[in-house]
Amino acid sequence: MMTAAFLTTAFVIGGVGAYYIQSKKHTEHRQHGRVMLGMAMIMAIFVAPAQVLIGDEHGLNTLEHQPAKVAAMEGIWEDERGAALRLFAIPDQENQTNKYEISIPYVSGLILTHSLDGEVKGLKNWAPEDQPPVMIVFWAFRIMVGIGMLMVLVGLFSLYKYFKKQQYNPESVWFHRAWMMMTPLGFIALLAGWFVTETGRQPWTVYGVIRTAESMSPLAAQQVATTLIGFIVLYIFVFGAGSFYILRLIAQGPKPYEDPADDNFYEHSVTESQGRALSGDSNPAKSTEEDIDTPANDVDDGGLR
Ligand code: HEM
């Protein structure tokens, strides 16, 4: 989950950085764009493959503790030796089967049991009322893993561009477009992951112990609906305002560092000259040579004086 959050953030930063490098409106922000993209590339190259390995481990743990969820993620109905990886299928829960299946033999079994003829339990081991909603779990899992794989591909693309020393070149249009297109995908993968976890757990609140139906509070449907609508309205407002603000900041671009107008600014630095050096003010008009290096008396300098 932590790596997923890091990746999501990195792809936003990298996407915005790539936009600053490409945008004709933001030529003065290209340097910022390079720093942003460069840092995000490191995350994509190293953390995206790590996410795949962590996800694989997560899946093995789920297989041990919530096998019905894994069967739904994989769209497996019958117990299957050398289980196939379903690339595409429309799970039909009513008839307990898949429609329009496209699959690669052995791959799922290999991933889940680390052996070619390992057996994966099918959904039919559970009564229909004990199975999770397969369609949601199956597709949410594919969306999450699909985006994870795209992240790995963008990481590889970044490595290639890095070795060619073209990663910051505005002529690398497709490279920067790929980064820009990835900007929102981390959020979608995060949501898809939560859908897999929470929907795949159904019909249990505590797997195999308390059913969701048993853990409902004794409230009238109208009361629950009112609270739910309240939450939806509030979140639309909060996220709407937040997204609007963030998009405006991105459209404006980072502001160049400016000296604050107030004269007390330099009191916050250890010495006036260090403060001026930090702020890039190399030509102090108001100060004499002597008082430039005089430490401000009321500042905790951490023992540097
Ligand atoms: C690429 C390969 C990936 C694999 C194999 C993978 C696998 C898994 C598995 C097996 C689960 C567990 C479900 C459970 O037991 O409840 C899970 C959950 C999750 N995944 Fe992925 N995942 C991958 C990529 C990603 C990516 C790229 C993101 C987001 C950027 C992501 C975000 C999540 C989240 C947020 C959860 C829910 C965690 C929780 O609530 O405990 N995953 N993933």
| Rounded average pLDDT over 171-199 | 97
Residue 64 lies in a domain: yes
First to last CA, the chain: 45
Which of 3, 6, 9, 13 has the alpha carbon at shortest distance from 38? Answer: 13
**pLDDT, tens digit, 9 for 90 and up, residues 44-70:** 999 999 999 999 999 999 999 999 999
Residue 103 falls inside a structural domain: no
Within a domain: residue 27? Answer: yes
pLDDT at 291 over 50: no
With respect to residue 296, please indicate whether it lies within any of the assigned structural domains.
no
- Kindly state whether residue 277 falls inside one of the protein's structural domains: no
Which pLDDT belongs to residue 115?
87
| Residue pointed to by tokens 């990886």 | 85
Domain that holds residue 153: 2-75+133-216
58 CA: nearest ligand 1 atom = 10
Buried b (16+ CB within 10 A) or exposed e, 192-211: bbebbbebbbbbbeeeeeee
Kindly give the distance from the C-alpha atom of residue 144 to the centroid of ligand 1, in angstroms, as a whole number: 7
Give SS3 for 180. Answer: helix
Is residue 205, in this structure, part of any structural domain at all?
yes
For residue 94, pLDDT over 90 is answered with yes
Q: What is the dihedral of CA 38, 39, 40, 44, to 10 degrees?
A: 90
Give just the sign of the alpha carbon dihedral 33, 38, 40, 44. Answer: positive
84 Rama class: left (phi>0) / alpha (psi -120 to 50) / beta: beta
User: Is 287 a residue whose pLDDT tops 70?
Assistant: no
Under a CB-based contact definition with an 8 Å cutoff, are residues 153 and 113 in contact? Answer: no
Mean pLDDT of 225-241: 96
Tell me the C-alpha to C-alpha distance, in Å, between residue 31 and each of 5, 89, 91, 222, 255: 26, 46, 49, 55, 12
In three-state secondary structure terms, 297 is coil
Q: Quick check: is 113 in a domain?
A: no
Residue 172 lies in a domain: yes
Q: pLDDT digits over 130-170, tens only?
A: 999 999 999 999 999 999 999 999 999 999 999 999 999 99
Mean pLDDT, range 252-278, rounded to an integer: 58
Confidence of residue 269 (pLDDT cuts 50, 70, 90): very low
Phi/psi of residue 259, each to 5°? Answer: -65, 130
Count how many domains the chain has.
1
Q: Using pLDDT thresholds of 50, 70 and 90, give the confidence band for residue 263.
A: low
Candidate from 13, 58, 188 with most ligand 1 atoms within 8 A of CB, to mutate: 58
**How confident is the model over 200-228, as pLDDT tens digits?**
999 999 988 999 999 988 899 999 999 99
| Radius of gyration for the alpha carbons in the chain, expressed in angstroms and rounded | 27
Which residues' Cβ are closer than 6 Å to ligand 1? 1, 4, 7-8, 51-52, 55-56, 58-59, 62, 144-145, 147-149, 151, 186, 189-190, 193-194, 196-197, 200
The whole-angstrom separation of Cα 77 and Cα 60 is 19
206 vs 214: CA distance, rounded Å: 11
> Residue range 31-43: average pLDDT?
95
Say how many Å lie between the CA of residue 58 and the centre of ligand 1: 7
Phi, psi of 71 (to 5 degrees): -60, -40
103 CA → ligand 1 middle, Å: 21
* pLDDT confidence bin for 13, thresholds 50/70/90: very high
Give 305 Cα–ligand 1 centroid separation in angstroms. Answer: 51
pLDDT-derived band at 305, boundaries 50, 70, 90 = very low
